[in-house]
Amino acid sequence: MDRTLVDFVKVLRTAEIKVSPAETLDAMVALDVVGYQDREFLKNSLAIVLSKTPEEKEAFDDCFDRFFTFDKFSAMDEQAPTRDQPGDDSDDFDPQSDSKEQGSGKGGQGAGGGGGGEQQEQESEREASELKLEPSSPLGKLLLSGDKSELMISMAEAGRKAEVNQIVVFTQKGLYTRKIMDNMGLKELQQEIGDLQAHGGPPQADLAGRLKAARDRLRDRVRDYVEKQFMLHADESGKLLREELLKKVKLSNLEKRNFKDVQEVVFKMAKKLISIHSKRRKTYRRGHLDIRKTLRHNMQYDGIFFDLHWKASKVDRPKVMCICDVSGSVSNYSRFLLMFLYSVAEVLPKVRSFAFSSDLGEVTRLFQQSNLEDAMAKTMRDYGNGSTDYGQMLADFRSHCMDDVDKKTTVIILGDARNNYGDPRADVLKEVYDKAKRVIWLNPEPKMSWTVGDAEMKKYAPCCHQAEVCNSLVHLERVVSNLLRAAT
């Protein structure tokens, strides 16, 4: 049963309940003490060991009820349709009772018809053969036995062999249903049904019909069992898979129905960056050996260098200025770029955000005082969907922000550098390059398009410390993470 408990722990982790290996071992000890007899006692005991917060306790109760409950399986037998044979209204098949009813009916006809002793003897022999006719395959015997508990155990064991807990996406439901059926002995059952149908006798045809009806009902039960396992094991895995796909797909290819999912992914990315970089790992960066301090502090050791001292420079969080193009040419990207800027504001407390189509405007305070949807809507309304003019943007930046740029400042520009054949004002970007610590340009277009048409990346790229393609959330996460890592 330890394996069952391990599977249950996997379900808890899927539900985002943090269970350590040590807590798993404690649960095994608790399981040995309390046993399986009292369900509620077992549930409360494991809850004490495996759940730590009220939220985890609520999630634990739900996972326990779904993992250890088979009520739906039992109820299905009462609601399931019976076989298509006329006169059969019993859910649990009893070949003997069916045969007796058929035999008595046929015997009555014989007696009523006055067919004679020889005919009655033939009827008796046929009744005897019908009474002895039973399925030969293990699965057939199990299906017609009416033992629901044994059938459930067999299904669970077949599911374990098929590794149904590894199901990832809903489209695998049919695959795992077939695997479980095969592990339960479907092949032998199919062979038996074929042999019975080939024989052609009424008893064989009747048994084949009952086996086929039971097989079809079993397939429905297995399909529901697989669906339940999917909800237990793969719901979070499928969600993670979708999130990974959304992080890698080009932002321009995302549809409106994906916006909510992308927003969740962005906030998770920001939360991850916060957990990694929120605490300053190094207050000082070690430099060269400080000879004077080393000699002074080691005088007590007669000049032997036991205590070394190093010259150090203070490590501070970066000052970041983010400039986002929200013009029509990058409208498919703008929403997600603004979303990411909004989400990393907590990670980068010194970030200043700007938006432009032609004239540059600062939206830092708007991001601080408004929720995400309002901030993006106001930004797009005030600065978006206009004709792109990077030259005007750079001129505005020099007029209003150049005095704030120093050797601690990183300037990030998000845009496609398409200037509608206007003056690119690359000289202004060169000034920013000389004053700033770093200038990073993130372009959503592939590099082959950087020199095509009205693109000005060939002039802007030499004035940047780093120029990269950035058209997915993975790219954005990597840039911000590297930025923070360099500063810590």
DSSP, residue by residue, 460-476: HGGG-SEEEE--SHHHH
When pLDDT is cut at 50, 70 and 90, the band that residue 428 belongs to is very high
Q: Which two tokens stand for residue 10?
A: 């996997």
Number of DSSP helices (H) and strands (E) in the chain, helices first: 22, 8
φ and ψ at 327, to 5 degrees?
Answer: -75, 175
424 close to 455: Cβ distance less than 8 angstroms: no
φ and ψ at 411, to 5 degrees?
Answer: -105, 125
Query: Is 80's pLDDT higher than 60?
Result: no
Return the percentage of the chain with pLDDT > 90, whole number. Answer: 14
When pLDDT is cut at 50, 70 and 90, the band that residue 99 belongs to is very low
Angle between helices 95-113 and 117-132 (to 10 degrees): 170
Buried b (16+ CB within 10 A) or exposed e, 29-63: ebbeeeeeeeeeebbebbeebbbeeeebeebbeeb
**Arithmetic mean of pLDDT over the chain:** 76
Q: What is the mean pLDDT of residues 149-176?
A: 83
206 close to 265: Cβ distance less than 8 angstroms: no
- The number of beta carbons lying within 10 Å of the beta carbon of residue 381 is 10
Query: Is 73's pLDDT higher than 50?
Result: no
Continuous segment of H or E residues that includes residue 285: strand 284-289
Query: Is 127's pLDDT higher than 60?
Result: no
169: β partners: none
Using DSSP, state whether 324 is helix, strand or coil.
Answer: strand
Kindly report which listed range (132-141, 201-210, 265-274) carries the lowest average pLDDT score.
265-274
Query: Is 430's pLDDT higher than 50?
Result: yes
d(CA 16, CA 239): 12
Kindly report which listed range (217-231, 310-324, 399-413) carries the lowest average pLDDT score.
310-324
Rg (CA), the chain: 36
Residue-wise pLDDT for 333-370, tens only, equals 777 777 777 766 655 667 888 999 888 999 888 888 88
| Helical segments of 92-248, H only | 95-113, 117-132, 138-145, 148-161, 173-184, 186-199, 202-229, 235-248
Q: What is the DSSP letter of 174?
A: H
Q: What is the pLDDT of residue 348?
A: 63
Q: What is the pLDDT of residue 83?
A: 40
| Positive or negative torsion for Cα 296, 302, 303, 304 | negative
Q: What is the pLDDT of residue 423?
A: 92
Q: What is the pLDDT of residue 155?
A: 87
419 close to 391: Cβ distance less than 8 angstroms: yes
Continuous segment of H or E residues that includes residue 356: strand 351-356
Q: Output the CA torsion 344→346→350→353 (10° steps).
A: 40
388 close to 357: Cβ distance less than 8 angstroms: yes
360: β partners: 356
When pLDDT is cut at 50, 70 and 90, the band that residue 393 belongs to is very high
Continuous segment of H or E residues that includes residue 275: helix 259-277
Q: What is the pLDDT of residue 128?
A: 46
Q: What is the pLDDT of residue 75?
A: 41
- Please identify which residue in the block is written with the tokens 């430099």: 287
Q: What is the pLDDT of residue 396?
A: 94
Question: Is pLDDT larger for residue 464 or for residue 331?
Answer: 464
Query: Is 475's pLDDT higher than 60?
Result: yes
d(CA 50, CA 391): 60
**Does pTM surpass 0.75?**
no
Query: Is 434's pLDDT higher than 90?
Result: yes
Q: What is the pLDDT of residue 394?
A: 95
- The number of beta carbons lying within 10 Å of the beta carbon of residue 255 is 6
d(CA 417, CA 476): 17
d(CA 481, CA 471): 16
